[in-house]
Amino acid sequence: MLAGELALLVGCTVGLIMIFNNSGVFQGTLGVGFGRTGGYLGPAPATVGPEYLLLRPATQGGDLVAPHAIGVHGLTLLAVPAVLLARTDRPPRQRLWITVSAAAAVVVALAVLLGHALRRLPLGELSASALVTLALCAVVLVWSWTRLRRPRR
């Protein structure tokens, strides 16, 4: 599925940025991790901030971990349900609608989080509209997964 491959490509690119900086926090530059020597090469604890259930709302820059995770797992988020959906007896048009809805949810969520991170803003500063968009993406994705069972007759 093209959307899953796109999400995977974006996730790998974000991972490469994280490697270049030795950090999951984007502060506007690339390659700063290569100039450090000795001991621990990652970001200072104050840069990262506290972590709550894999989310870090108070980074000193954009948090790349969430868009990286969605991107890397985007292929699985979309391909596995699409394969399972193909095994149901739902009409092809309905299967396509469910698959496109799930793909749109993953791509939009990835775009919102990545755009926020590249502006060097922590997750705690997501706007209300961005939070609503992410919530809608989650609802659509969960809805699409509930469609994997056989339709009622």
Stronger pLDDT, 59 or 114, i.e. the higher one: 114
Look up residue 151 and give its DSSP letter: P
* pLDDT score of 42: 64
| Cα gap 147→46, rounded to integer Å | 43
* Domain ranges, ordered by start, for the chain: 2-146
Residue type for position 54: L
Mean pLDDT over each residue of the chain, to the nearest integer: 82
Look up residue 28 and give its DSSP letter: S
- Ranked by mean pLDDT, which of 26-30, 34-38, 46-50 comes out on top? 26-30
Q: Closest Cα to residue 70, out of 118, 4, 123?
A: 4
| Cα gap 46→42, rounded to integer Å | 11
* pLDDT score of 137: 94
E-strand ranges in 7-151 read: 25-26, 62-63
User: Token digits for 151?
Assistant: 């339709």
Global pTM? 0.81
Those residues whose C-beta lies under 8 Å from the C-beta of residue 17, and which sit 6 or more positions away, are 26, 30, 64
